[in-house]
Amino acid sequence: MRLLLILLLCLLPGCRPPETVSSTPMRFSGDIREFRIGAWNVRNFFDSTDDPYSDEVPSDMDYERKTRELSRVIDSLEADFLALEEVENLEALKKLNSTLKQPYPQLGLVEGNDTGRGIDVAFLSRIPVKNVISHAHHDLPERPGVSRGYRFSRDCLEVQLQTDPPLTIFINHLKAARGDEKKSAAKRRVQAEGIVEIMQATDSPGEAQLVVGDLNDVPESWALEPLFSRLQDPFAMMAPSERATHYYHKKGSAIDHILADEEAFPLCFNAKVWSQVARDTSDHSPISVQMKLKAPATVEKKIWDTSGSKSF
């Protein structure tokens, strides 16, 4: 009887249980759709403005030609989200986007650490972006052969998408294999360890994560072991001749990657190396996977840069 009285009192106005905050990821109504996630090193996409960097300054004619060539390839990829490497600045990215048959409603580039050539990672997206976080100033683990305070060569750009399940993409362009091979491999390994650190620190229950970009090494390398030991490779079943994304002196190697965590991997299918479409435009082939996700049908026009986001 006493229990019944207490329950009746709780139904009276002003007697309600405290509200709780749910940590459940955002859900979207509608059907699951297929989205293409791609990555491509566009090779030296510099504008025609002379600046303090040591990059080559193309003529206006060469800049226009390069932009047209890139847009032709990107149009053919039909990616819903495309990570890009070796883009000089936001203005070049905006110009490229404007030349596409169907410009992307959202794009982003945050200036990174490459003070030599001045190249950055960037993205184009038809999927709504929730947030963009630069990890350019993330101090990487101290290891033999790598100085204290070493950082990413460009950035580890974190792009959070408004999808169900939530998908976060980490765009990377790791240390190139130039000069002393042991030293460059040690730096790539530290950068790979740094990516894992960031993924673990930002991971939430139910969130899917991808690592994409030009990692400048092959799957079986010691340098990329921290990533390949933790993540799944949607391209793993491809024959070596089909998997090559970069050719040097006619020798092909798989150095461009899309890696998936345990939440993202079951959603991935149809991994593809676009080995023909970009042959005359870049020394790298674009790569892509399909993913099954839910996402809002409408996408606001938005640009993401160092200062945050703004509509356009």
| C-alpha torsion 184→186→191→197, nearest 10 | 180
Section 30-48 average pLDDT: 91
- What is the residue-wise DSSP string for 33-44? EEEEEEEEEEEE
pLDDT-based confidence at residue 27 (cuts at 50, 70, 90): low
CB-count exposure of residue 46 (10 Å: 0-12, 13-18, 19+) = buried
pLDDT confidence of residue 11: 40
Output the pTM of the full model.
Answer: 0.89
In the chain, what are the domain boundaries? 26-296
Q: Give the per-residue SS3 of 294-305.
A: ECCCCCCCEEEE
Section 24-32 average pLDDT: 64
Which of 171, 129, 157, 161 has its CA nearest to residue 38? 171
Q: Using a pLDDT cut of 90, give the percent of the chain over it.
A: 73
User: What top-level class would CATH report for the domain 26-296?
Assistant: alpha beta
Task: Output 249 or 51, whichever has higher pLDDT.
Answer: 249
What is the distance in angstroms between the CA of the first residue and the CA of the last residue of the chain?
64
Encode pLDDT of 129-176 as tens digits. 999 999 999 999 989 888 888 999 999 999 999 999 999 999 999 999
The region of weakest confidence among 4-8, 47-51, 106-110 is: 4-8
Encode pLDDT of 92-125 as tens digits. 999 999 999 999 999 999 999 998 899 999 999 9
Contact (CB, 8 A) for 74 and 45: no
